[in-house]
Amino acid sequence: MSQIALGFVPARILYSAAELGIADALANGPRDYESLAKETGTDPGALRRLLRALAGLGVVRQLDTDRFSLTEFGGRLRSGTPDSERDDIMLSTAPELWAAWGELTAVVRSGEPARAPGTGRTAYEAMQEQPEVSAKLRAGMAQASALFATGVAEAYDFSRFRTVVDYGGDEGTLIAAVLTAAPDLRAVLYDRPEALERSTATLSAAGVADRCEVVEGDLTSPPPSGADACVLNNIVRDRGDEKATELLRSLRAGLAPTGRILLVETLMPPVLTPDESAAYGLTDLNNLVFAGGRERTRDEYAALLAAAGFTLGATVRVPVPTGMPDYHVIEAAPTS
């Protein structure tokens, strides 16, 4: 149990390694800690101790008293590589989230998310209001979406629609994969201006920019009306039932009569095994602490959708990398 209590230590070690760019500095081969210290602007002795701790986590390998090399596992801390998890790790261990978890006891007592001191904002809201921190948040979320975007596009048949809106789709990672899999489909990518800054590059790189209209808007307002389907990727989980119901009701008004809402979310099992508790239970609690949101079971989604005027339809499982909670495309139609 004492090892669990010290679980914060490896997390902070990874965060510091990512923030200092240690993996990038070691990308071209072994280095001695003194040259690394000069490049990263750190104290040589302290950096050497950090590198030894990273060796204990399997991120680097100590070759002799002075030199260290990057392991294959540690390569995931590099920036800009296909398998990079750097942005996601920096989001998961960000100081703002760290501070919110310090209020866990108060959160459990009140049932309300942690609030940033002096603002009354949740950690999620506070991070979005700071440009530099918000960019970190968006980068981490985009990196996480990239892990299952192709799986979503291949598991669910989007070709039966003419136009799909990706509501809150950020830089377009998911909708780019969907358009690639459905060559006759057209789309609207809808999000806040700052979230869409990298959308042109994402859509162009996928070769689908000519089939995707990018529309700026506030996530408290409905997107352009008349679409056959509206996709919400990891949006509903960030909201409690009241706010989620309000959002879904606003989207219902803009759908075509035969339209569909498609939620890309995890489906939490009603009873969790020990392994599932690590994947789902911790994520669910994090949503509460961070944003006041929650993970939901299939029955809970059915009730939420019904309250917003929808009927739950098919739930299509999405293939995800090992260790991630199962994702599903949750389909719902307006209740007649």
Looking at residue 87, its pLDDT comes to 87
CA distance 203 to 215: 13
- pLDDT at 140 > cutoff 90: no
CATH architecture assignment, domain 141-334: 3-Layer(aba) Sandwich (3.40)
For the domain with range 1-78, which CATH number is right: 1.20.120.160, 3.30.70.141, 1.10.10.10, 1.10.3720.10? 1.10.10.10
Residue 283 contacts residue 266 (beta carbons within 8 Å): yes
24-65: pLDDT as tens digits = 999 999 999 999 999 999 999 999 999 999 999 999 999 999
Residue 72's Cα: distance from chain center in Å? 23
* Burial of 57: CB neighbours in 10 Å, binned 0-12, 13-18, 19+: middle
Q: What is the reported pLDDT for 129? A: 81
More confident residue, 276 or 261: 261
At 135 the pLDDT is 78
More confident residue, 82 or 249: 249
Domain ranges of the chain: 1-78, 96-125, 141-334
CA-to-CA distance for 331 and 333, rounded, in angstroms? 7
Structure tokens at 164: 């799909």
- End-to-end CA separation in angstroms for the chain: 53
> Which pLDDT value is given to residue 307?
97
Share of the chain above pLDDT 70, in %: 100
Is the CB of residue 248 less than 8 Å from the CB of residue 308? yes
Burial of 272 (0-12, 13-18, 19+ CB in 10 A): middle
Please, what is the angle between helix 44-56 and helix 8-20, to 10°? 120
Which residue matches tokens 């599903």? Answer: 328
Amino acid at 90: M
Nearest to 184 by CA among 214, 152, 211: 211
Residue 182 has pLDDT above 90, yes or no: yes
Other CB atoms within a 10 A radius of the CB of residue 257 amount to 7
> Which pLDDT belongs to residue 143?
75
CB 222 within 8 A of CB 198: no
Of 64-78, 116-130, 169-183, 236-250, least confident by mean pLDDT is 116-130
What confidence tens digit (pLDDT) does each residue in 227-255 have?
Answer: 899 999 999 999 999 999 999 999 988 88
Please say whether the beta carbons of 247 and 196 come within 8 A.
Answer: no
Q: What's at 275, amino acid-wise?
A: D
Distance CA 154, CA 278 (A): 27
285 phi/psi in degrees, rounded to 5: -65, -40
pLDDT for residue 215 is more than 80? yes
Q: What is the DSSP string of 45-90?
A: HHHHHHHHHHHHTTSEEE-SSSEEEE-TTGGGGSSSSTT--HHHHH
Q: Return the closest-CA partner of residue 45 out of 58, 55, 36.
A: 36
pLDDT value at residue 322: 72
| pLDDT tens profile 192-205 | 888 898 899 999 99
Residue 94 has pLDDT above 90, yes or no: no
**Burial category of 3 from C-beta neighbours within 10 Å (exposed 0-12, middle 13-18, buried 19 and up):** exposed
User: For residue 323, is pLDDT > 80?
Assistant: no
Q: In CATH terms, are 1-78 and 141-334 the same topology?
A: no
For residue 258, give the 3-state DSSP assignment. strand
Answer yes or no: is pLDDT of 144 > 90: no
